Copies of this chain bind each other. A is one copy, B any other.
Amino acid sequence: MTNPAEPSAPQPAAPDAAAAGGGRSANQGRRVAARNRAALIAAAREVFAEQGLNAPLSAVARRAGVGQGSLYRHFADRVSLASAVLDENVRHIERAAAGPDADLPRVLGVVTWHLTRSTAFVDLLRVRGDGAEAQALSGRVRTVLARCQPAGTRLTADDLMLAVAMVSGAVAGPTLAERERIALRAWQLLGARVGPVRPWEAADDA
């Protein structure tokens, strides 16, 4: 998984018993509903990270170990699935900014953590105005950044978002280490200080 983000990553609902039978795999009733939803989001996070936001939804369903129909029941369309995936990323950033000793470098570190883990998140912050949901999500990031900015700075909130987009655009590479290295060098070229690169949870360890 590219971006677990949740301590208790839900297990795919698939390789259960009862699959040994011939025909259709057992209908496990509504007990698995919540588990399926989580598995779909987790699978979508992986698939979108690997293949981009246009990846086949059938691949998401397959990786989640869930029928196609269940995917469509939980998420009416591709956008609502993507939103669910990205919503988690944004929530983490908001949580990071809500901490007691939150400042801009610390938040940028969290942003960078997500940028280097999720291609989908990169796409979110790079592409502007691509549907109401995407705007809402990137707007939340913008709000967080604007609030963290020290008084008397020369940069507008738009400038901050532009800087994030610039780093987003630059972040590419086959390995995670490579992506982090590039991201940090990019922030350096922009003259920005960046705190430790981590999701919010890890902040406890600091």
Which residues of the other chain, B, contact A128 by a CB distance below 8 angstroms?
Answer: 172-173
| Complex partner residue of A166 from B127, B159, B173, B189, CB under 8 angstroms | B189
Closest CB of chain B to A74's CB: distance in Å? 16
**Contact for A159 among B159, B173, B189, CB less than 8 A:** B189
Stoichiometry, as copies per complex, reads 4
Check B174 against A170 for contact (C-beta < 8 Å).
no
Residue in B163, B174, B185 whose beta carbon sits within 8 Å of that of A162 in the complex: B185
Q: Are A182 and B162 in contact (CB under 8 A)?
A: yes
Residues of B within 8 A of A166 (CB): 166-167, 169-170, 186, 189-190
**Does any Cβ of B come within 8 Å of A54's Cβ?**
yes
Q: Which of B126, B174, B182, B185 contacts A129 (CB 8 A)?
A: B174
Interface string of A22-62 (1 = CB under 8 A from B): 00000000000000000000000000000000100000000
Closest to A185 in B: B162
Residue of B nearest to A188 (CB): B159
Chain B residues with CB under 8 Å of A129's CB are: 173-174
Please give 9 more A-B residue pairs, beta carbons under 8 A apart, in addition to A126-B169, A162-B189. Answer: A126-B170, A129-B174, A162-B170, A162-B182, A163-B189, A165-B170, A166-B169, A169-B171, A191-B191
Among all A-B residue pairs, the 9 with the closest Cβ atoms = A169-B169, A166-B166, A165-B170, A166-B170, A128-B172, A168-B169, A126-B169, A169-B170, A127-B172
A selection of 27 A-B contacts at a CB cut-off of 8 Å is A54-B54, A126-B172, A127-B172, A128-B172, A129-B173, A129-B174, A162-B182, A162-B185, A162-B186, A162-B189, A163-B189, A165-B169, A165-B170, A165-B172, A166-B166, A166-B169, A166-B170, A166-B186, A166-B189, A166-B190, A168-B169, A169-B169, A169-B170, A169-B171, A189-B190, A190-B190, A191-B191
